[in-house]
Amino acid sequence: MKKFQGSCHCGSVTFSFEEEDITSGLRCTCSYCERRGSALSKFTLSKDKLNINANDDSMGLYQFDTKIAKHYFCNKCGIHPFLETVRAPGQFRVNLGCLDGIDVDKLQIDIFDGKNLL
């Protein structure tokens, strides 16, 4: 297992976790993710495996439709470092672009058909 660290752009929201080496990711086609354009982890992490550190007022939450998925973002810089998934509430995917030492352009990125999920 390797320790990964990540953050939003301004550093107000940081996070870390342990996982095997990251060689691929996914892009979701739901209306929200398409507009955001981030590459997400294929793996999910439980809340006890994702260590989140956020300044008091720095983390915001956006929800839509069924309000099951939770899209977290930094209130200061607007970056979305992670989300709680609609298919597995309590499980998180991380924005691979927020991870230190990961070049998203070198990863295999698969498409997830979130548009037709619900």
Q: Structurally, how many domains does the chain consist of?
A: 1
Please report which helix (H) or strand (E) contains residue 70, including its range: strand 70-74
Which whole-number Å values give the CA distances from 77 to 23, 68, 74, 114, in the listed order? 27, 24, 6, 26
Q: What is the mean pLDDT of each run of 10 residues along the chain (118 residues)?
A: 97 97 94 91 97 93 91 97 93 98 96 82
* pLDDT value of residue 65: 85
pTM for the full predicted model: 0.93
User: What CATH number did the domain enclosing 50 receive?
Assistant: 2.170.150.70
3-class secondary structure, 78: coil
Distance CA 112, CA 30 (A): 9
Phi first, then psi, for residue 32 (nearest 5°) are: -75, -50
Give the range of the structural domain holding residue 28, as residue numbers without chain letter. Answer: 2-116
Q: Amino acid identity, residue 91?
A: Q
